[in-house]
């Protein structure tokens, strides 16, 4: 399956959209509502976690003064960077169910001006 391809119009969706709004966004070409398929989101999360673990493993043994906090911070950053990057490369898109639209109830009230004001007596 093509990466980041809109299933509706077949054009590629910019990676920035996929990364920033992976929970749902509109195709810039045909305005179809899309979302990242669960499969690719899983891959991105797993890859992010794997790299985070790796970073934690590597930095854990450092004798730095920040040795306590740094591995956690770095692995957190690694996850935050790697996960969207992976998503950018593996994301396959599908059309999202249309969002719920609440029809506003039409207000009928603007045409109630009284005609009696102009019915003045001629006495
Ligand atoms: Zn499209």
**How confident is the prediction along the chain (123 residues), in pLDDT tens digits per residue?**
568 899 999 999 988 888 776 678 889 999 999 999 888 888 999 999 999 999 888 887 766 666 677 888 888 899 999 998 888 888 888 888 766 666 666 655 555 555 556 555 566
CB neighbour list of residue 79: distance below 8 Å, 6 or more residues apart: 48, 49, 51, 52
Give the number of other CB atoms < 10 A from CB of residue 82.
20
Q: pTM (2 decimals)?
A: 0.62
State the distance from the centre of ligand 1 to the C-alpha of 78, rounded, in angstroms: 31
State the distance from the centre of ligand 1 to the C-alpha of 39, rounded, in angstroms: 20
The tally of CA atoms less than 13 A away on the side-chain side of residue 97 is: 2
State the distance from the centre of ligand 1 to the C-alpha of 13, rounded, in angstroms: 8
Question: Using a CB cutoff of 8 Å and minimum separation of 24, what contacts does 72-76 make?
Answer: 76/52
Enter the tokens of residue 58: 């590597």
């Amino acid at each position: 399956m093509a990466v980041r391809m809109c299933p509706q119009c077949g054009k590629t969706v910019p990676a920035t959209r996929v990364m920033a709004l992976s929970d749902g966004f509109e195709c810039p070409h045909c305005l179809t509502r899309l979302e990242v398929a669960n499969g690719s989101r899983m891959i991105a999360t797993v890859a992010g976690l794997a790299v985070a673990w790796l970073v934690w493993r590597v930095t854990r043994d450092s004798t730095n003064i920040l040795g306590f906090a740094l591995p956690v911070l770095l692995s957190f950053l690694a996850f935050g960077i790697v996960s969207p990057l992976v998503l950018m490369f593996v994301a396959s898109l599908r059309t999202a169910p249309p969002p719920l639209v609440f029809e506003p109830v039409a207000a009928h009230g603007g045409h109630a001006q009284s005609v009696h004001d102009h019915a003045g007596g001629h006495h």
